[in-house]
């Protein structure tokens, strides 16, 4: 009995201290946001109508596609109708051993001459970065052949619903920034806790965390989709990498690229704007994985690339850039959070067992499992975290989804716990020299009226 009591006390103390530190970290970000919001300082969504006039730009959209035959034709049809500028070409990267995707992309290209299907030199899957590099080479060749100069590149995924106003936003902001990132709004499939927990997480990340990061002047990572960058910055990076701007050895090339551009001082803009026509947020909408293990694989790739391999690859910021250090620490706290969560769930289990045994044996439990102030502090911070999660989800999806965010919070923890184990295994393989490859998840494309 004494051993169980001691294990319950120690695990509860460890978990509570970890949860307290993480809760204070989150609270600091939330307070920054709320203070700026109350002061009306650049955190409220603006209207696209407030932007300066769009610049005349020649733009290329990159879409990397590996085994995307189910969605690529519909995605390209929607994108070509909404990116309705004759100077906007769409380059679709496919693989020679993926004939179904090639046929679907080619069918879309027949209907719109602006679509270019680029078959890469390597059999798939490689990495998304490798596919994007093949599109960069094709763009440079196309510009050389036609005598034009492309000003910017937009990156989208094969399942994205493109917003009708995004080209207007990019054209207005890119003259003053090297990179512009739009928010990502995952679409929620009714009854799916997996797709729903993505909605909760992105509603907070792109509704609170990214705006705060921008306000504090910290480098901004990219989301890998819904971002536009000038060809000048891509060419500068390509010149340092043998003509290839995207790092094929990175599992999260988008995250690293955003930090790299931000650190160079050229400017990354996170743009939250609303379409004056219908009030919708100018954002990328897409269905995320709907199966538990598919979500685990995706989260494991993010955790491996950002929290584990990313630490090795890009390290920390400049010595005295405290805000940058803070944000990178938040990006990399996933594995530590998993350890704390595991201890917390173990502590709850042990506490339940010991309490039951003491009751059955009629033996009083004189041990203080945890200081009362620590208990109440972690409980209050946990309640605040749930309220913020609900508020962000309500802002993006309405209160119906906001109430579902509470049980999905615990489901998200389960996904993260399993993903951490897979991330550690992948990180070990990466340390042993294994080349990263595209970890494919199945996608579906929504009805057009859901796209915004």
CB atoms within 10 A of CB 46: 12
Per CATH, the homologous superfamily of domain 46-288 is: Spore Coat Polysaccharide Biosynthesis Protein SpsA; Chain A (3.90.550.10)
Q: Mean pLDDT, to the nearest integer, of 206-235? A: 92
Q: In what order do the strands lie in the sheet with 152-157?
A: 115-119, 88-94, 59-64, 152-157, 227-230, 179-181, 268-270
> Rounded to the nearest 5°, which phi and psi values hold at 285?
-115, 135
Q: Which H or E run includes 153? A: strand 152-157
Percentage of the chain modeled with pLDDT above 90? 59
369 Cβ contact partners less than 8 Å away, ≥ 6 residues apart: 8, 9, 12, 13, 351
Residues 93 and 136 sit within 8 Å (Cβ to Cβ): no
Q: pLDDT tens, 278-328?
A: 999 999 999 998 889 999 999 998 898 888 887 777 778 777 788 889 999
Token output for 170: 């990019």
Residues 289 and 419 sit within 8 Å (Cβ to Cβ): no
pLDDT band at 373 (very low <50, low <70, confident <90, very high): confident
CB atoms within 10 A of CB 73: 20
> According to the model, what pLDDT value does residue 351 have?
79
CA-to-CA distance for 77 and 114, rounded, in angstroms? 11
pLDDT band at 1 (very low <50, low <70, confident <90, very high): low
Largest CA distance in the chain: 88
CB atoms within 10 A of CB 429: 13
What global pTM score does this model have? 0.90
For residue 42, is pLDDT > 80? no
Q: pLDDT tens, 121-170?
A: 989 888 899 999 999 999 999 999 989 999 999 999 999 999 999 999 99
């Amino acid at each position: 009995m004494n051993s169980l009591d001691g294990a319950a006390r120690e695990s509860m103390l460890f978990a509570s201290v970890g949860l307290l530190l993480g809760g204070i970290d989150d609270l600091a970000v939330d307070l920054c946001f709320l203070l700026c919001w109350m002061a009306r300082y650049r955190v409220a969504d603006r209207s696209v109508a407030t932007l300066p006039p769009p610049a005349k730009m020649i733009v290329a959209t990159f879409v990397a596609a590996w085994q995307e035959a189910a969605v690529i034709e519909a995605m390209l049809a929607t994108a070509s109708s909404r990116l309705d500028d004759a100077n906007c070409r769409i380059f679709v990267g496919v693989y020679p051993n993926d004939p179904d995707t090639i046929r679907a992309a080619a069918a879309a290209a027949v209907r719109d001459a602006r679509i270019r299907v680029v078959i890469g030199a390597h059999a798939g899957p490689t990495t998304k970065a490798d596919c994007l590099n093949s599109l960069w080479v094709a763009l440079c060749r196309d510009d050389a052949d036609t005598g034009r100069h492309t000003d910017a590149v937009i990156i989208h995924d094969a399942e994205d619903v493109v917003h009708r106003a995004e080209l207007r936003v990019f054209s207005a902001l890119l003259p003053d920034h090297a990179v512009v990132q739009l928010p990502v709004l995952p679409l929620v499939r009714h009854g799916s806790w997996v797709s729903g927990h993505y909605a909760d997480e992105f509603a907070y990340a792109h509704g609170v965390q990214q705006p705060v990061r921008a306000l504090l002047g910290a480098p901004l990572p990219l989301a890998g989709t819904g971002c536009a960058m000038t060809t000048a910055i891509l060419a500068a990076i390509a010149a340092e990498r043998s003509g290839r701007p995207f790092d094929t050895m990175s599992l999260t090339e988008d995250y690293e690229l955003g930090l790299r551009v931000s650190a160079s001082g050229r400017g990354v803009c996170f743009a939250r704007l609303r379409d004056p026509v219908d009030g919708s947020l100018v954002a990328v909408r897409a269905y995320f994985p709907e199966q538990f293990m598919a979500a685990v694989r995706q989260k494991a790739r993010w955790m491996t690339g950002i929290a584990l391999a990313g630490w090795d690859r890009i390290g920390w910021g400049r010595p005295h850039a405290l805000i940058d250090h803070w944000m990178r620490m938040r990006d990399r706290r996933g594995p530590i959070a998993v350890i704390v969560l595991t201890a917390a769930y173990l502590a709850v289990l042990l506490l339940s067992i010991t309490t039951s045994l003491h009751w059955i044996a009629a033996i009083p439990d004189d041990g203080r499992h945890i200081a009362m102030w620590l208990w109440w502090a972690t409980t209050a911070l946990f309640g605040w975290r749930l309220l913020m999660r609900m508020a962000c989800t309500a802002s993006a999806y309405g209160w119906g989804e906001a109430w579902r965010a509470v049980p999905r919070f615990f489901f998200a923890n389960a996904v993260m716990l399993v993903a951490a184990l897979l991330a550690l295994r992948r990180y070990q393989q990466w340390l042993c020299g294994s080349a990263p490859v595209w970890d494919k998840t199945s996608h579906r494309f929504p009805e057009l009226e859901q796209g915004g």
